[in-house]
């Protein structure tokens, strides 16, 4: 940011000397520069309207000249930002400035703020008059009109912007969020990937449905959708969810009625393009007391034939000690579509030790587990990776053949007993008021077969 400010400041200085205003009041000139610079690259909150004050000391024609000159380099960046946002929401590039202009009026994101700030100090036509040409290789070619001076300027900076300028930007892998009532749609390059749902009627926030890159649903529809022939067991298994059944005297896993409830409180951050969604929830016990505050950061990303979500979840005890009793009923989970399960479906589990199928994976530790099956002639898989900095790594696995796929680091005693481990030990995670525990997982939805070596490399990249 400092480098960006220095570059623009030098550019402004050249323009000031070019227009002969270097002998004007230094104080007033600096105020003008602060207003223009602050709005142009949003380094501070000074309004462009502050330029009205120094006009008595500085010729406002000079100010207009500066802002007009600024419109090309800043406008290029704003136009590229808007074009990428358009691609993210529509799955294609804009084909004209008018098409981009219509989109910009309705797009609720940081792009609107950037555009509004820019338009306060410069001519927006630099964006709308540009030529937008999608290329065969997926890139977008933008040609901007040049600025016409009354006479040829002497400074290189001023000369540079008088000619038309062409900028080519690559095809993005961008994530955008569309906020609705009680839910947020997650779009990747214009295609719906999943929806974060947090309505007050839900016992917990969830992601549902979850789709592959070609749009195939990997989550079971029940209880939200009626699909003929689909299973309807365990109505508390809903999409992708994070919960646990023994938290003091409250069970947050099996309940389908409120209380208890993991209650969504607010959205802390929703970063378009980068795909970061941060939310705050509270674990409210059956007696109405707030036991835990949950801060969840979800980072959405895409690669060819793959969508992924990184979960960084921090649970902080509130006014009393919180004990998580050891139970198999937890914790980070996805309920899979029937076609993907092992029992009666096409799926097959594989873990980081090379073991396959539920009997060899359930209740045992592993760095990662994947489930892979076939739908409509395509191989589709779901993998859950456990980060080394997560609680009780490597996690135990609640991987069921009927379609529940869960990582559970807190059920240690039950899993050790069930797998006949000698001298089983409880984990009994205990948090004093103000203490926190962090859980980190990566969920990958992919198309095309992936063997143990491929998933292991994914894990190594994630664990760095």
Query: Any bridge partners for residue 194, and if so which?
Result: 186, 210
- Specify if 170 maps to a domain: no
Report d(CA 110, CA 271) in Å as an integer. 8
Q: How confident is the model over 203-217, as pLDDT tens digits?
A: 999 999 999 999 999
Kindly state whether residues 265 and 287 are assigned to the same domain.
Answer: yes
Q: Which domain holds residue 85?
A: 2-162
Q: How confident is the model over 197-254, as pLDDT tens digits?
A: 999 999 999 999 999 999 999 999 999 999 999 999 999 999 999 999 999 999 999 9
Kindly state whether residues 279 and 208 are assigned to the same domain.
Answer: yes
- Percent of the chain, pLDDT > 70? 77
3-state secondary structure of 73: helix
Kindly state whether residues 8 and 157 are assigned to the same domain.
Answer: yes
Q: Phi and psi of 244, rounded to 5°?
A: -155, 150
Kindly state whether residues 146 and 226 are assigned to the same domain.
Answer: no
On average, the pLDDT of the chain sits at 83
Q: Is the pLDDT of residue 170 over 90?
A: no
pLDDT band at 289 (very low <50, low <70, confident <90, very high): very high
Q: Which residues contact 453 (CB under 8 A, 6 or more apart)?
A: none
Per the rule left: phi > 0, alpha: psi between -120 and 50, beta: everything else, 448 is left
The number of domains in the chain is 2
- Specify if 101 maps to a domain: yes
Highest mean pLDDT out of 28-37, 44-53, 140-149, 264-273: 264-273
Kindly state whether residues 152 and 262 are assigned to the same domain.
Answer: no
Kindly state whether residues 156 and 251 are assigned to the same domain.
Answer: no
Kindly state whether residues 351 and 457 are assigned to the same domain.
Answer: yes
User: What pLDDT score does 112 carry?
Assistant: 66
Domain boundary among 162, 185, 211: 162
Domain boundary among 139, 162, 185: 162
Kindly state whether residues 278 and 155 are assigned to the same domain.
Answer: no
Kindly state whether residues 204 and 353 are assigned to the same domain.
Answer: yes
Domain boundary among 162, 194, 226: 162
pLDDT band at 176 (very low <50, low <70, confident <90, very high): confident
- Specify if 293 maps to a domain: yes
Lowest-confidence region among 153-167, 266-280, 354-368, 406-420:
153-167
Closest CA to 326 of 389, 396, 263: 396
Q: Phi and psi of 406, rounded to 5°?
A: -140, 145
CATH at 435: 2.70.98
Kindly state whether residues 55 and 99 are assigned to the same domain.
Answer: yes
Report d(CA 273, CA 86) in Å as an integer. 11
Query: Any bridge partners for residue 70, and if so which?
Result: none
Report d(CA 123, CA 118) in Å as an integer. 8
- Specify if 168 maps to a domain: no
Lowest-confidence region among 11-15, 22-26, 131-135, 336-340:
22-26
Kindly state whether residues 182 and 253 are assigned to the same domain.
Answer: yes
- Specify if 167 maps to a domain: no
Across the range 32-57, mean pLDDT stands at 39
- Specify if 290 maps to a domain: yes
- Specify if 171 maps to a domain: no
Task: Please tell me the pTM assigned to this model.
Answer: 0.75
Kindly state whether residues 93 and 120 are assigned to the same domain.
Answer: yes
- Specify if 21 maps to a domain: yes
């Amino acid at each position: 940011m400092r480098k960006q400010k220095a570059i623009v400041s030098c550019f402004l200085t050249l323009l000031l000397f070019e227009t002969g205003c270097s002998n004007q009041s230094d104080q007033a000139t600096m105020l003008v520069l602060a207003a223009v610079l602050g709005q142009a690259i949003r380094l501070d909150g000074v309004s462009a309207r502050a330029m009205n004050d120094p006009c008595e000391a500085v010729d406002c024609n000079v100010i207009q000249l500066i802002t007009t000159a600024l419109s090309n380099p800043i406008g290029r960046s704003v136009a590229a930002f808007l074009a990428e946002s358009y691609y993210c929401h529509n799955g294609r590039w804009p084909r004209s400035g008018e098409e981009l202009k219509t989109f910009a009026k309705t797009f609720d994101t940081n792009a609107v703020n950037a555009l509004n700030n820019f338009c306060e100090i410069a001519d927006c036509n630099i964006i709308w008059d540009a030529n937008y040409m999608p290329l065969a290789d997926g890139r977008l070619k933008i040609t901007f009109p040049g600025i016409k001076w009354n006479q040829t300027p002497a400074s290189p900076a001023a000369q540079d912007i008088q000619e038309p300028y062409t900028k080519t930007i690559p095809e993005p892998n961008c994530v955008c969020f569309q906020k609705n009532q009680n839910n947020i749609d997650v779009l990747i390059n214009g295609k719906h990937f999943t929806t974060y749902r947090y309505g007050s009627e839900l016992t917990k926030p969830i992601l549902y449905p979850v789709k592959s890159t070609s749009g195939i649903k990997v989550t079971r529809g029940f209880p939200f959708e009626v699909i003929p022939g689909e299973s309807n067991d365990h109505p508390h298994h809903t999409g992708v969810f994070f919960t646990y059944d023994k938290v003091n005297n409250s069970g947050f896993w099996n309940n389908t009625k409120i209380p208890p409830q993991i209650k969504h409180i607010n959205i802390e951050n929703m970063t378009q393009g980068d795909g970061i969604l941060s939310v705050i929830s509270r674990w409210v016990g059956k007696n109405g007391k707030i036991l835990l505050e949950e801060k969840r950061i979800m980072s959405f990303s895409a690669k060819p034939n793959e969508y992924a979500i990184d979960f960084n979840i921090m649970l902080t005890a509130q006014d009393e000690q919180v004990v998580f009793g050891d139970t198999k009923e937890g914790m980070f989970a996805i309920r899979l579509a029937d076609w993907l399960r092992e029992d009666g479906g096409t799926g097959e589990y594989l873990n980081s030790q090379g073991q396959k199928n539920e009997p060899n994976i359930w209740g045992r530790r592993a760095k990662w587990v994947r489930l892979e099956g076939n739908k409509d002639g395509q191989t589709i898989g779901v993998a859950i990776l456990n980060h080394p900095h997560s609680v009780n790594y490597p996690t135990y696995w609640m991987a069921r053949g009927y379609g529940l796929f869960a990582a559970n680091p807190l059920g240690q005693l039950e899993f050790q007993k069930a797998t006949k481990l000698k001298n089983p030990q409880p984990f009994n995670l205990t948090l004093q008021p103000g203490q926190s525990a962090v859980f980190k997982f990566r969920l990958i939805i992919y198309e095309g077969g992936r063997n143990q070596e491929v998933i292991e490399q994914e894990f190594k990249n994630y664990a760095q």
